Structures are given as structure tokens and as C-alpha cells.
Amino acid sequence: MKKYGYLTTKIGLIEIIVVAEQVVKVSFVNTRQVAKDSSNIVVVNCLKQLAMYFDKKLSDFNLPIALKGTPFQELVWSKTCTIQFGTTLTYQELAQKIGYPKASRAVGSALSKNLLAIIVPCHRVVNKNKNIVNYLYGAHIKNFLGFSPFMYYF
């Protein structure tokens, strides 16, 4: 059974979905699907960690997550989780780090299917010119989350 949580931030409403005690989705939404947040411990912990992240008190998440995709997508998402707060990698650099140096477009495709916004920090991946390109939730959110100096937005 799905458990829901919502966090209102300066950049929009974030929805958290937990299934079988794992975070399966973190996304920006326009409206709530359910009226009340779940009292589930994983939902509460995820909400707490996201709030701390936005309050500049947390830079790394410690949550049970479910990465569900192809083996290549899961490899990309796992390696993306190792990009340190305040830094970026290019799609090509990420492709090299996973052992597929010519797969920068495939890396971009995998990142576009990331269901765990912020937790799997695909906002830290940029093109070879260090520009924002094709972020699911829009350039302004990618910019806010860490492409530009994070601290200037609070």
C-alpha cells in the first residue's frame, strides 16, 4: 500500500511516495493526491530530511530507497548518488565514471527517468558547457537545487 507525504518548499510542493518501507518516488507536483500525510516512519523521516536539506542542515540523505529501472538506469542513478553536494558532473563525466565513456546521451536518458528527485541528485549533472539542459521540473528548479551556488537562493 502506498503511503504519501508532502512538503511545501520555496520552489513548489514535493510529494513523497513510500511502498514496502522504501521511498519509491519524490517529485514536484501541483496538488496533493491525499488530504493527509501518512504517519509512516519512512515518510516522516523523508519529510524531515528534505526539510533539513532545504534548511541547509543536511547535504546527504540516509533513506531506504527503491531504484527500479533497467540495470543501466540503476547504475547511472547509483553513481549519481555519489556526486557530492555543491559539485556537478557533466553527462560525459558520469558516463566515464560508470564505464561507458561514449554513453553520455544514454546517461541523460536514464536521468530523465529518475523518480527520486533531490534524493538521486540528477540536478547536479550538466552538459559539457556546464549549462542546464532538459530538467524534468524546469531549469529554474534545477538552478535552485544546486546548479548555481546553492546558498544564494535562501
Residue 124 and residue 88 in contact, taking contact as beta carbons nearer than 8 Å = yes
Q: Is 81 a catalytic residue?
A: no
DSSP 3-state assignment of 5? strand
Residue 26 and residue 5 in contact, taking contact as beta carbons nearer than 8 Å = no
Active-site choice (7, 122, 126, 141): 122
CA 33 to chain centre: 20
Residue 18 and residue 115 in contact, taking contact as beta carbons nearer than 8 Å = no
Residue 24 and residue 40 in contact, taking contact as beta carbons nearer than 8 Å = no
Measuring CA to CA, how many Å separate 78 from each of 65, 68, 137? 11, 11, 20
Active site residues: 122
